[in-house]
Homo-oligomer: A and B are copies of this chain.
Amino acid sequence: MNPALRALKPPHETRTRILDAAEALFMQHGFEGTSMRLLTAQAGVNLAAVNYHFGSKDALIEAVFRRRLDPMNAERIAELDRLEKSAGAMAPAPADVIRAFLRASLLMIEDAKSGGRNFIRLLGRAYTEPSKPVRLLIGQLYAPAMERYKAAFERVLPELPRDELVWRLHFMFGTLAYTLAATDTVHLIAGCKPEDRYDAKLLEERLTAFLEAGLLAPLRGVCAVRKAA
């Protein structure tokens, strides 16, 4: 980059440019499918800059997730804190805990311009990534928020056996991840109206109704038998 341009550049701008380009390209072409050469060209930085600032491609991938996911999960936890505080000694309603959990994701999908929506899609795909290190990373990054929410749901749904709850949280997680990630598959497979796909308010209502009912569902079949035993 020439000195005239450099003078205009805030410190660490290069890092940010790389992260932004990486986010967009990882979504478009996947991790394996995105070459450092394409990435650095898109970011308008030198090929060696990635290695200099992040150390390796894998480390870059991690940085991409950390940049958004850490604040996002912190926000999720804060949301739950606020909710429990306002409920006082009473347990909050299940639907409100669900909303608290969804909120951070839904806020992000409304932000198409600065890449939030793109990131959410990338994130949704990460749970099923071929690369084990990536899945491990995601698990780690989510762990604190998940622990916190698991405890909250245990309080809110005291009737539900623990292992049943774990599965239902998994289902909830899956519904959310998939809904946000498989955005074009909706209308490919089921034929929904495209304009509704990113309406956060509508999505919140739809998801909350669905998930609340699912979490509160009565036990049936072998699960009910198990519990009775």
Contact = CB atoms under 8 A, between A and B. Distances in A.
B30 A168 contact: no
A156 B181 CA distance: 28
A3 interface: no
A178 B128 contact: yes
B146 A173 contact: no
Given A28-B130, A178-B178, A186-B170, A221 B192 contact: no
A212 B212 CA distance: 12
Interface string A199-216: 001101111111111111
A202 B161 CA distance: 14
B163 A192 contact: yes
Given A32-B33, A130-B27, A212-B217, A178 B173 contact: yes
A110 to B, nearest CB: 15
Interface in A112-136: 121, 124-125, 127-131, 135-136
B217 A192 contact: no
The main secondary structure of chain A at its interface with chain B is helix
B207 A221 contact: no
Given A32-B30, A167-B192, A189-B146, A209 B213 contact: no
Contacts of A222: 201-202, 205
A182 interface: yes
Given A28-B130, A188-B139, A192-B170, A217 B209 contact: yes
Contacts of A178: 127-128, 173-175, 177-178
Contacts of A190: 146, 150, 166-167, 169-170, 173
Given A163-B192, A174-B179, 20 more contacts: A30-B130, A125-B130, A127-B178, A127-B185, A128-B128, A136-B188, A138-B185, A146-B189, A167-B186, A167-B192, A167-B196, A170-B192, A171-B175, A171-B206, A175-B175, A177-B178, A177-B182, A205-B220, A208-B220, A213-B213
- 6 A-B pairs with the lowest CB-CB distances in the bound complex, closest first: A174-B178, A139-B188, A213-B217, A30-B130, A205-B221, A32-B32
